[in-house]
Homo-oligomer: A and B are copies of this chain.
């Protein structure tokens, strides 16, 4: 493989604190030329769907061959596999729990490998380290090795299948820094239609528009997002605050006609 960059991104549910910095330290020990980019560390704890959504958005804006690491891992310590998935465009690393699935939808998968933590530790010069913290002790060194040009096939065994992502219908996936709400609703809403947004026992009037500026400031709107998912927003306002909505909540959209 021709190494034309040594970029690694990190998406986790670790919250604030020093664990992310430990991952970066390990990466630099293994490949001192790697460059690491934080995507988000505020994924709701154990919310695999939220992490999957973020990973599916970000990879396309990074250069080819970037290694994207995701760690949202409720079953760490169990027998769930650790994955590296190489696509035509980049590589993803993370637990085999569905987290990487959405990122693979818009591109061709070349190979999926079940990572062998002992091999990774040896190759990374980290023998004797107990792999208590998989983000730091398995995923980070695996990413660093791949950015050095190590063939991912030498880090584990090929897999035919990886775990599916379990997505509940009618849920909030993601709330962004502006309070815009992304949902799991994939049914396209007709432009201009009046709808009811149901959340937390409340019904809110909204209208489906094509873009923010088609709505009045402060108006609740629904949008058919470019990712194929329905969004609920307020033009120049905060939809999540108005509804009291957060990632994982149930949310429905009904025709008000």
A residues contacting B by CB (< 8 A) are 4-5, 7, 9, 11, 13-19, 21-22, 24-26, 28-29, 32, 35, 37-42, 45-46, 54, 57-58, 61-63, 66, 74, 77-78, 132, 136, 176-178, 211-213, 226, 236, 238
Contacts of A38 in B (CB 8 A): 21
Given contacts A18-B39, A40-B16, contact A25 B178 (CB under 8 A): no
A62 and B176 CA atoms in complex are apart in Å by 30
A18 and B37 CA atoms in complex are apart in Å by 11
- 7 nearest A-B residue pairs (beta carbon): A15-B177, A25-B61, A25-B62, A21-B39, A22-B61, A17-B177, A77-B213
Contacts of A42 in B (CB 8 A): 16-17
Contacts of A132 in B (CB 8 A): 211, 226
A133 and B154 CA atoms in complex are apart in Å by 40
Question: Which residue of A16, A136, A177 has the most chain B CB atoms within 10 A of its CB atom?
Answer: A177
Extra 12 A-B pairs, beta carbons < 8 Å, given A5-B28, A14-B177, A18-B40: A5-B32, A9-B25, A15-B177, A16-B40, A22-B57, A24-B37, A25-B62, A25-B63, A26-B61, A45-B178, A61-B136, A77-B211
Least CB separation from A12: chain B residue: B177
Contacts of A41 in B (CB 8 A): 177
Q: How far is the CB of A36 from chain B (nearest CB, A)?
A: 8
Contacts of A57 in B (CB 8 A): 18, 22
Copies in the complex: 3
Given contacts A7-B28, A28-B62, A62-B29, contact A236 B18 (CB under 8 A): no
Query: Of the candidates B9, B16, B136, which one forms a contact with A21 in the assembled complex, judged by CB atoms under 8 Å apart?
Result: B9
Contacts of A58 in B (CB 8 A): 18, 21-22, 25
Q: How far is the CB of A249 from chain B (nearest CB, A)?
A: 17
Least CB separation from A11: chain B residue: B18
A-B contact pairs, 9 of them (CB 8 A): A21-B40, A25-B63, A28-B62, A28-B63, A41-B177, A45-B238, A77-B211, A132-B211, A132-B226
Query: Of the candidates B11, B19, B212, which one forms a contact with A176 in the assembled complex, judged by CB atoms under 8 Å apart?
Result: B19
A22 and B39 CA atoms in complex are apart in Å by 8
A212 and B169 CA atoms in complex are apart in Å by 32
Given contacts A28-B5, A28-B62, A32-B5, contact A177 B78 (CB under 8 A): no
Contacting pair A176 B17 (CB below 8 A): yes
Given contacts A17-B42, A40-B17, A77-B212, contact A63 B22 (CB under 8 A): no
